[in-house]
Amino acid sequence: NPGELITYIITLQNIGTNTAYNVTVIDTYPAGVTFVSSSIAPGSGDNTWYISSINPSSIYSIDITVAVDMAAVGDLVNFVEVIFENSIGIPQTPINDTCNTTIINPYMLIIKEGPANAVSGELINYWVNYTNIGTDTAFNVEIMDTYPIGVTFISSIPAPTISNNLWILGDLGSGASGSIQITVQIDVDTSGNITNLVQLDYENSVMALPTVFDTCNTTINPPRLPIRIDSNADFDEAHG
């Protein structure tokens, strides 16, 4: 996940019959990670180690910890190369290896829907739709709805976890989605435009990720009063 610390392990083994001398290990970090530390301090910069010799059958390891950048995406390919000589100082064919790490991360979307127009005193429904379109589980998902002034909460499906506007959903795997239906009543003296705000908070396996928001705007019109007009004929007949 972005923000996570990961460890690369470089293991050198001399499978030959003679000692390897002047061994140099150069690790090329992929874009998207930052060096943090290593089990053996680098001899140069943060990615080069010098080993005087490695005897036959000996094993030499270096653990390197890096932090995955918050903007990292896709595949991170780490490349390591080892340069060494034989006992009489002749350079040998360098050896190398790679390690591939795929970055996964949740990404939550939230959409708020409701009527474009309503009448004061009317019951209306808001819909909150949420989806994890990322590649990993979203942890500790919570949705909070801020109702506008001029409406009164009536009910919701499912019911709120806390009070009348907070839903604690827990963990949502990649591709998981759901909806919340909220019924409110427009106060009789409400008019003009009202805006409903919903926000969703969540985390990856390391840290809290940015809150996502959406809004829904509704124009409130005054109620339409029924009007009856009697014809003259009806009036004359009724009154003789």
- Using one digit for the tens of pLDDT, what is the confidence trace for 21-30? 999 999 999 9
Looking at the whole model, is its pTM more than 0.85? no
Distances (CA, A) of 215 to 98, 132, 143, 147: 47, 19, 13, 10
pLDDT tier at 235 (50, 70, 90 boundaries)?
very low
Average pLDDT over residues 186-212: 96
pLDDT (tens digit per residue) in 100-125: 999 999 999 999 999 999 999 999 99
- For the chain, list the strands marked E by DSSP: 5-13, 20-28, 33-38, 48-54, 59-68, 75-85, 95-102, 108-113, 117-119, 123-132, 138-146, 151-157, 166-172, 177-186, 192-203, 208-221
pLDDT at 234 over 90: no
CB-CB contact of 230 with 162 (8 Å): no
- Mean pLDDT, all residues of the chain: 94
pLDDT of 231 over the 60 cut:
no
Tens of pLDDT, residue by residue over 212-224, are 999 999 999 987 6
Each residue's pLDDT tens digit, 155-178: 999 999 999 999 999 999 999 999
